[in-house]
Amino acid sequence: MSDRIEQLADQMTLEEQVSILSGEDFWSLPAIARLGIGKLRVSDGPNGARGGGSLIGGVRSACFPAGIALGATWNVDLLQDIGVALAEEVKSKSAHMLLAPTVNIHRSVTNGRNFECYSEDPILSADLAVAYISGLQSQGVGATIKHFVGNESEIERTTMSSQIDERALREIYLIPFEWAVKKAQTWGVMSSYNRLNGTFTSEHNWLLTTVLRDEWGYDGIVMSDWFGSHSTVETVNAGLDLEMPGPPRDRGQKLVDAVRSGAVTQATLRKRVIAMLRLMERAGSLDDHRPFEEHANDRPEHRALIRRAGAEAAVLLKNKGVLPLKGDGSIAVIGPNAKIAQIMGGGSAQLNAHYRVSPWEGLLKAVGEDRLRYAPGCTNHRFEPVLRGPFTAEYFANETLSGAPVHTEIQDDAQAFWIGHVGGGKVDPLHFSARISGTFTPEHSGAHRVGIYAAGFAKVFVDGKLIADAATNWTKGHTFFEEGCDEVVGVAQLEAGRAHQVVIEFVTKDFGSLGLAAFAAGIGLPLGDKDITEAVRAARDADTAIVFVGRNGEWDTEGSDLPSIELPGRQNELVAAIANANPNTIVVLQTGGPVEMPWIGSVAALIQAWYPGQEAGNAIADVLSGVQEPSGRLPQTFPVRWADNPAHSQDHEVYPGFEGKVRYEESIFVGYRHYDRLGLTPLFPFGFGLGYTSFALSDMVVHDAGFEADGDVAVGVTVTNTGQRAGSTVVQFYVSDDASSDPRPAKELKAFAKVSLDAGETADVTVKLDARAFAFYRERARHWLVEDGSFTLRAGLSSADLPLSAQLTRKTTLMLPV
């Protein structure tokens, strides 16, 4: 700690000290001009640095692949490069910290936020998080790893208590955070919304002080998730340094009073202040007095990195010789995700991307328009397509739409997410009304569906007639982080080519947990049997059919879990019909996790492309055409059906939660550990992925001279590219405890290495394992334990393909501290 920090803390008044322990507004802390302390600013991540604050609109930003896509790369070097690039993005938004990475574990396949997280496995998540944080902080931008801890579902997440035993916490859920602290020295940790075993994580002394600071030696700051602080004295005393956002709800004068009364001691307050000043010094905000400016820097090198990462994330799950695309035959491009670029999930990770490349656009550049024919087939949206503008928005400084508007502006489309600065700053952001007016000109005549959902009271009028009413009987639903209602849909007969008048009326309402106002309005014309028939005709007439299906950010989103893992709408029907019409059917799947695939036996090839960022279409076309190798490997097990997942249960307390509790009954048996335990064969195992070449492993060598003394082992294998072209693979190393006194998984991933080789090339790969790789957490004694007896090391290319093994033995036990 520098002398300057100590001196500043000593010079600050009580009120000044308290002021930097909460936000001034949604994205920044207050400056202290008297002492020359600049304003610390943060920006949402993790797949970009959002400009403008709001989730909708704002200054444009580069959109990188989603977390699960980065997890599928299994490439720590790539994650470090992305961290460096994101630091540049953060700086372009005049910010000092990125609210990222997200490392919660894929406990349930239905978690709406899985797309934002890396994996079901703690070691894969931890390794990638360390690389991401290291890259980011190497450029002087702080990371804020989140959400600490137990936020594995979006259902009632602001109040739900995650009931997790300590062994599962230590062995699964805490590992990415522990590595971020010990190996990457992260500057920030964000507490989760939920309770952990009955106590809000933002005021959980065992979590924030005993584990994080005392055991791990953490010297960074802990900030609340937005509106995730619920008390004054309890949060400060437990170890929460920063309440966000501002203006403060639990701090400010309340904290001043608590210090003066002795409920919070001067010593405790000073710890929080010192932590904040240390962060400001590290991130450079102490002396940053530049005017706030945001820039949309569309950097060519970031475009190239995003495109490369998107292609590397693609996982080839099946290929009967049809990929990469060959010759100059005709291609039918089919499906709801073909001409719409699904680049990211929904929620706080979303941003206003510089551009979006759709798969259709990518294929146009790759193979030329003459070879392509398009048919949508069906839709997959959760809500009616948002109306595109321009729209005129009139704001009223009341909740009755009365009098003259106090501010008028133009917006791009019929949606808004209002936080902080609203209506030109002329209205109270939680108490106002607005009228949004524009037109909609349909391409076809017919009965159109008009939808509206809102965190507030909203109505849609078409040509002066009320069509959709989300005000009169407003009921809380699953939109806008559970602050909004579910979509209300009406029907309007519209005429092709005619500009129909559309007016949306919006009035704020009292919020539950998160202080925001928002709405989205859309109009769509349903597709039917004739559209599937047209798609089948296009497929039958083509040499190859590529079907682009999946979900989008309406389904894979913060604030809402998935109702199932079936493809939405009629997509399963569409894929089956296309496969029946054309034996060379390729499916490109874009989702934030697994789906059930009743058609898997009928298609010739399958690629999981996730949400690969703004270069989506180019990255996908690179893989389809063979310009890039699909070198991704699954970071999450794909079950045959949802019921096979470890969190699926007839007991609602196990999932989705009951009476405020969600019980992690499976404990340490998450992901592939669960399938191994029950002998279930998944659709595709953890770590699986094909390529355009092949690899063989041989000659496993174990160096265990130090195993008895300190638990250290080095394991090596030889990797050979046995195919006809260059490519890459991921060598995975698993550990099994052959006879443990406590139940342990059949095997656990403990190390991995991504290897790129030319055709016929051979390389030796060696990884090092420390004692923790062989230990389990003994909850009764509160230490890690490596027992005496035999262990088996396995190496292979997925959790179900481990051809090499070796056994090693200990004569004594080894106890390791927490």
The tens digit of pLDDT for each residue in 736-763 reads: 999 999 999 999 999 999 999 999 999 9
pLDDT score for 1: 64
In a domain, 203, yes or no: yes
What's this model's pTM, rounded to 2 decimal places?
0.95
Q: Residues 325, 363: contact at Cβ < 8 Å?
A: no
Q: Residues 713, 707: contact at Cβ < 8 Å?
A: yes
Structure-block tokens of residue 144: 């804020």
**Is residue 104 helix, strand or coil?**
coil
Average pLDDT over residues 75-79: 98
Higher pLDDT, 327 or 225: 225
Shortest CA distance to 618 belongs to which of 326, 344, 343?
343
The number of distinct structural domains making up the chain is 4
- Indicate whether 375 and 415 sit together in one domain: no
In a domain, 737, yes or no: yes
Specify the residue for token string 């949306």. Answer: 504
pLDDT score for 57: 80
- Domain boundary residue among 524, 545, 566? 524
**Residue span of the structural domain in which 272 resides:** 3-283
In a domain, 684, yes or no: no
- Indicate whether 812 and 739 sit together in one domain: yes
Please, what's the b/e burial string for 92-103 (b: 16 or more CB within 10 A of its CB; e: otherwise)? bbbbbbbbbbbb
Q: Residues 717, 734: contact at Cβ < 8 Å?
A: no
Up-side HSE of residue 237: CA atoms within 13 Å toward CB? Answer: 10
- Indicate whether 403 and 508 sit together in one domain: yes
Given the DSSP bridges, would you call strands 195-196 and 188-191 parallel, antiparallel or unpaired?
Answer: unpaired
Q: Residues 143, 97: contact at Cβ < 8 Å?
A: yes
Given the DSSP bridges, would you call strands 783-786 and 814-816 parallel, antiparallel or unpaired?
Answer: antiparallel
State how far the Cα of 55 lies from the Cα of 349, in Å rounded to an integer.
8
What are the backbone angles phi and psi of residue 560, rounded to the nearest 5°? Answer: -160, 130
- What's the DSSP call for residue 658? B
- Domain boundary residue among 478, 508, 524? 524
Q: Residues 170, 777: contact at Cβ < 8 Å?
A: yes
Shortest CA distance to 71 belongs to which of 114, 110, 37, 34?
114
pLDDT score for 257: 98
What are the backbone angles phi and psi of residue 787, rounded to the nearest 5°? Answer: -80, 160
Structure-block tokens of residue 576: 């089956």
In a domain, 487, yes or no: yes
- Domain boundary residue among 477, 495, 524? 524
Q: Residues 230, 251: contact at Cβ < 8 Å?
A: no
CATH of the domain at 409: 2.60.120.260
- Indicate whether 393 and 354 sit together in one domain: no
Shortest CA distance to 791 belongs to which of 731, 702, 720?
702
In a domain, 664, yes or no: yes
Share of the chain above pLDDT 90, in %: 96
Radius of gyration of the chain (CA): 27
CATH of the domain at 350: 3.40.50.1700
- pLDDT tens-digit map of 620-679: 999 999 999 999 999 999 999 999 999 999 999 999 999 999 999 999 999 999 999 999
State how far the Cα of 566 lies from the Cα of 297, in Å rounded to an integer.
39
- Indicate whether 17 and 85 sit together in one domain: yes
Average pLDDT over residues 149-158: 96
| Residues written for the chain | 818
In a domain, 293, yes or no: no
Q: Residues 338, 360: contact at Cβ < 8 Å?
A: yes
| Span of 240-249, 477-486, 507-516, 535-544 with lowest mean pLDDT | 507-516
Could you give the C-alpha distances from 20 to 37, 218, 752, in angstroms and in order?
Answer: 10, 20, 42
- Indicate whether 147 and 219 sit together in one domain: yes
- Indicate whether 584 and 648 sit together in one domain: yes
State how far the Cα of 237 lies from the Cα of 245, in Å rounded to an integer.
19
Chain CA centroid to CA 695, Å: 31
- Indicate whether 440 and 467 sit together in one domain: yes
Structure-block tokens of residue 463: 């040509």
State how far the Cα of 400 lies from the Cα of 53, in Å rounded to an integer.
27
Task: Give, for 312, the enclosing helix (H) or strand (E).
Answer: helix 300-313
Confidence of residue 51 (pLDDT cuts 50, 70, 90): confident
- Indicate whether 369 and 396 sit together in one domain: no
Decide if pLDDT at 357 tops 90.
yes
In a domain, 290, yes or no: no
Please, what's the b/e burial string for 777-802 (b: 16 or more CB within 10 A of its CB; e: otherwise)? bbeeeeebbbbeeebbbbbbbbbbeb
Shortest CA distance to 317 belongs to which of 688, 735, 9?
688
CB atoms under 10 Å from CB of 697, counted, come to: 19
CATH of the domain at 143: 3.20.20.300
pLDDT score for 783: 95
**Residues tagged active-site:** 225
State how far the Cα of 677 lies from the Cα of 675, in Å rounded to an integer.
5
- pLDDT tens-digit map of 250-309: 999 999 999 999 999 999 999 999 999 999 999 999 999 999 999 999 999 999 999 999
Ranges of H-type helices in 175-297? 175-182, 205, 233-238, 253-261, 266-283
Confidence of residue 516 (pLDDT cuts 50, 70, 90): confident
CATH of the domain at 782: 2.60.40.10
3-state percent breakdown (helix, strand, coil) of the chain, nearest 5: 25, 30, 45
State how far the Cα of 691 lies from the Cα of 721, in Å rounded to an integer.
11
With 0-12 / 13-18 / 19 or more C-beta atoms within 10 angstroms meaning exposed / middle / buried, residue 47 is buried
Task: Give, for 361, the enclosing helix (H) or strand (E).
Answer: helix 359-367
CB atoms under 10 Å from CB of 431, counted, come to: 14
In a domain, 191, yes or no: yes
State how far the Cα of 106 lies from the Cα of 97, in Å rounded to an integer.
25
State how far the Cα of 195 lies from the Cα of 234, in Å rounded to an integer.
14
Decide if pLDDT at 533 tops 70.
yes
State how far the Cα of 54 lies from the Cα of 331, in Å rounded to an integer.
40
- Indicate whether 338 and 392 sit together in one domain: no
Shortest CA distance to 629 belongs to which of 310, 408, 393?
310
Confidence of residue 420 (pLDDT cuts 50, 70, 90): confident
- Indicate whether 12 and 134 sit together in one domain: yes
CB atoms under 10 Å from CB of 488, counted, come to: 23
pLDDT score for 54: 74
- Indicate whether 519 and 547 sit together in one domain: no
